A = this chain, B = another copy of it.
Amino acid sequence: MATATIKDVAREAGVSVASVSRAMNGGRGVTIETGQRIREVAKKLRYIPHAAARTLITRRTNTIGALLPDLYGEFFSELIRGIDLAARSRGLHLLVSSSHDGIEEAAAAMRAMQGRVDGLLILSPGVDADFLEANVSAGLPAVLLNSAVNSDHYSVLNIDNVAGAYAMVKHLIDAGHRNVAQIAGPPGNFDAEQRELGYRKAMAELAPDAPINIVPGDFMEESGYLAGRALLAQPSRPDAIFASNDMMAVGCLYACREAGLEIPRDIALAGFDDIPIARYISPALSTVSVRIVDLGRSALEQLAALLESPERPPATNQTMGCEVVVRESCGSERRSQLPKKRHTANQANFVTGGQS
């Protein structure tokens, strides 16, 4: 059973296709009765306008594309969640292309999306202005997430890594730690660089006489473990370690445990990202939390605004705040390990394990 077309509806209702079209969209140009009759027939025939035919003439797909790198876990799902929620409430569809390893793959995916979407949401560490210029057909609105690109043509939405890292270091210093060390992220990574910047800024301003102490890492757990060992082997052991993401903090935690140090009594530890694991390890990890759902939502809303205004508004450059989440690992709070607590406070953030 082929689906009904506008012609079928027109014939059945005894009008022209033009009137059907008018009745279905807004209903201006048809009498109330005619419109109603047409809509009834349409419902009876289960008529659904053919999306392709429609975009062919209107030049709108009502779809936006999300171009994402190879992301794991919570970050990805929360981001999509935010985007999807905002998209649906605007009647927009979401075409996803994720898991791009290299810049070449991303370019291919971008070309493939061309013509299928009205706009693009791009989160890809490797893209720069030239790449965009070369691969995004001019006139296709795009919003960049977490990107170093600074262009007049594209709006950018960043996490405020600098402020987040600054705030965490400030918290550690306020808690009485002076020698605060950082485990860095992979070189060239935008987030990593920003977080290092925040650390340096805070140290320079708040503990100018304390040494800057940065050991390399790559955002993976094992590098955190190795960095932790390196730090603990230093002649003057740091008071606090600020890992620039949570997974490295976890690795570092094992290094501390292995060295027989108790956290936070002997040394303080903090991370960045607030992945779900952070609150379940013991001691629970103090970290910097980013509201990823909101990031996705804002990005989509910004893109939607671009789509709706015919004249291209100037590119904006926004930043999403993040907040320090104080738990047990940085020692500034009395340790409250009562399980009871875990079941009250942040219910909303609980991870539900499986499906449904």
Copies in the complex: 2
A50 contacts across to B, CB distance below 8 A: 56, 115
Given A75-B355, A351-B73, do A63 and B95 touch, yes or no (CB 8 Å)? yes
Asked if A319 is at the interface of the complex by the 8 Å CB criterion, the answer is no
CB distance from A135 to the nearest CB of B (A): 10
Q: How far is the CA of A116 from the CA of B52 in the complex (A)?
A: 7
Q: Determine the residue in chain B with the shortest Cβ distance to A76.
A: B77
Q: How many residues of A contact B (CB 8 A)?
A: 87
- Asked if residues A98 and B81 are in contact (CB atoms below 8 Å), the reply is yes
Asked if residues A354 and B191 are in contact (CB atoms below 8 Å), the reply is yes
**B-facing residues in A83-110 (Cβ within 8 Å):** 84-85, 88, 91, 93-99, 109
Could you say which residues of chain B place their CB within 8 Å of the CB of A316?
Answer: none
Interface residue? A150 (CB, 8 A): no
A94 adjacent to B95 (CB under 8 Å): yes
Q: Are the CB atoms of B98 and A80 closer together than 8 Å? A: yes
User: A272 an interface residue at 8 Å Cβ cutoff?
Assistant: yes
- Give the CA-CA distance A226 to B15 in the complex, in Å: 64
Query: Which residue on chain B has the smallest CB distance to residue A249?
Result: B353
* Chain B residues, Cβ within 8 Å of A109: 88
Q: In the complex the two chains form, what is the Cα distance from A81 to B245 in whole Å? A: 23
Q: Evaluate contact between A247 and B352: CB separation under 8 angstroms.
A: yes
- B112 x A93 contact (CB < 8 A): yes
Q: Is A36 an interface residue (CB 8 A)?
A: no
- Tell me, in angstroms, the Cα distance from A191 to B109 when the chains sit together: 35
A220 to B353, CA, bound (A): 8
**B354-A219 in contact (CB<8A):** yes
Known: A80-B96, A351-B72. A48 touches B139 (CB 8 A): no
Taken together as a complex, chains A and B put the C-alpha atoms of A115 and B338 apart, in Å, by 54
Q: A190 an interface residue at 8 Å Cβ cutoff?
A: yes
Whether A96 pairs with B94 at a CB distance below 8 angstroms is: yes
CB distance from A185 to the nearest CB of B (A): 8
Binds B, one of A204-212, A261-269, A276-284, A301-309: A276-284
A251 interface hit (Cβ, 8 Å): yes
Asked whether A242 is an interface residue with its Cβ less than 8 Å from the other chain, the reply is: no
**Chain B residues within 8 Å of A112, by CB:** 91, 93
Given contacts A247-B353, A275-B353, 11 further A-B contacts (CB under 8 A): A2-B139, A3-B137, A48-B114, A51-B115, A81-B99, A84-B97, A191-B354, A221-B343, A225-B343, A258-B339, A277-B277
Task: Report 18 cross-chain contacts, Cβ distance below 8 Å, ordered by A residue.
Answer: A3-B114, A49-B115, A77-B80, A80-B80, A84-B97, A85-B99, A88-B109, A93-B95, A93-B112, A94-B95, A94-B97, A123-B355, A125-B356, A146-B356, A220-B350, A221-B350, A247-B350, A275-B353
